[in-house]
Amino acid sequence: MRQYITGNLVLENKEVFSGELVGSVKPFTSGEIVFNTSLSGYQEIISDPSYAGQIITFTYPHIGNYGANVTDSESVKPFCNGVILRELTAIPSNYRSQKSLEAYLIENDLCAIVGIDTRKLTKRIRDLGSLNGAYGTLPIDDLYELAKKETGTTNLNLVKDVTISSAYRLPGNGPKIVAYDFGIKTTILNRLKEKFDVTVVPANTDSDLVLKGELSGGVPSGVFLSNGPGDPSALSEIVSNVDNLLGKVPIFGICLGHQILCQVLGAKTVKLPFGHHGANHPVKRLSDGYVEITSQNHSYAVDESTLSEVKITHRNLNDGVVEGISAADRKMFSVQYHPEAGPGPHDATYLFDQFLELIKENI
């Protein structure tokens, strides 16, 4: 019988939630608290580098039902700060399960707090916006002070913490492309290598090296800009670097890559009240009115009032946020959501084919 250690979650507004600590138990875990509404895919979500600096609250009440395995991780390790659950399944049951979620947390030095009223916590975040918090074994007053000291993700360059240190290649039979790793997910890489010969490069890689083909064994036919964590407005060096690529080579951006492209075009980004984190967000494709059900994970969005000289291609049906843009004269397009679907529906995987077609048109 597992013996859990009691602990408390304290929000920056002084609200306290009591629970039990599991995984790699620590005196405290702190960060910006966000909620994810996905019903499954918890391992992919926890291991998504875009959650760096954040604590993930799962709204689905039972997490861990099918365990964890070596295949479903989206990065070499989780970069999120922590996990908040209503209930953690003690005994997973699935033919793919290799370990329990609790064992996965211990293996990756992550502490989770369970037994939390996640419905109440989620409603609080929806009412007040993203909240900083801290949980652990420390006294409530100490946890409150830690919650107050948290900066969240605003103005932080978290990409430097999740990107690779050196370039590597994923050989394929298609055109050569370079993928910038701002926190790229494994499923995105898998989608890309189905159609391209991919060279993955660190986030700060000089664009002139990319254009000359010095890292990819030849001049690339396209450039991919990946997802990633943190505040896009804190990435001025990366934005300047991408600016040198625009119009010279076909570009496809996802999530943070979308926000970086929009900044290159002069747009600003804003922090959403509680972000988009889940696998069932409806997005309208404006070209034909088709509604895609999408997977999303971002706390920031492009300020449409500052966006110009591009065509808006997709729009979120929940709150109207710009979900996609294109500019044919500059050989680029991007989307705010995650068409690779890891986890999530496959409605938007056609965008990888669209990138291939854009490249073929410009070879």
Q: 5-149 and 159-362 share one CATH topology?
A: no
CA dihedral 14, 17, 22, 28 (to 10 degrees): 10
Exactly one of 255, 292, 298, 323 is catalytic; name it: 255
Give 2's pLDDT tier (boundaries 50, 70, 90). low
Compute the C-alpha angle 242/247/249, nearest 5°: 80
d(CA 199, CA 147) in angstroms, rounded, equals 40
The share of the chain scoring above pLDDT 70, in percent, equals 99
d(CA 351, CA 145) in angstroms, rounded, equals 45
pLDDT for the residue 91: 93
Q: For residue 134, how far is the Cα from the chain centroid?
A: 21
CATH number of 159-362: 3.40.50.880
Q: Tell me the per-residue pLDDT of 95-121, one tens digit each, with 9 for 90 and over.
A: 999 999 999 999 999 999 999 999 999
Rounded average pLDDT over 130-141: 97
Q: Tell me the per-residue pLDDT of 252-265, one tens digit each, with 9 for 90 and over.
A: 999 999 999 999 99
pLDDT for the residue 215: 93
d(CA 202, CA 205) in angstroms, rounded, equals 6
Answer yes or no: 255 catalytic: yes
- What is the DSSP pairing of strand 269-285 with strand 311-316? antiparallel
Answer yes or no: 340 catalytic: yes
Closest to 49 measured CA to CA, from 225, 173, 214, 181: 181
Answer yes or no: 298 catalytic: no
The topology under which CATH files domain 5-149 is: Glucose Oxidase; domain 1 (3.50.30)
Rounded average pLDDT over 319-336: 97
Does residue 4 register a pLDDT over 90?
no
Exactly one of 44, 74, 292, 340 is catalytic; name it: 340
Mean pLDDT of the chain, nearest integer: 97
Helix (H) or strand (E) holding 243: helix 236-243
Closest to 33 measured CA to CA, from 167, 133, 150, 162: 133
Token pair for 233: 């407005």
- What is the DSSP pairing of strand 251-254 with strand 62-63? unpaired
Domain boundaries, the chain: 5-149, 159-362
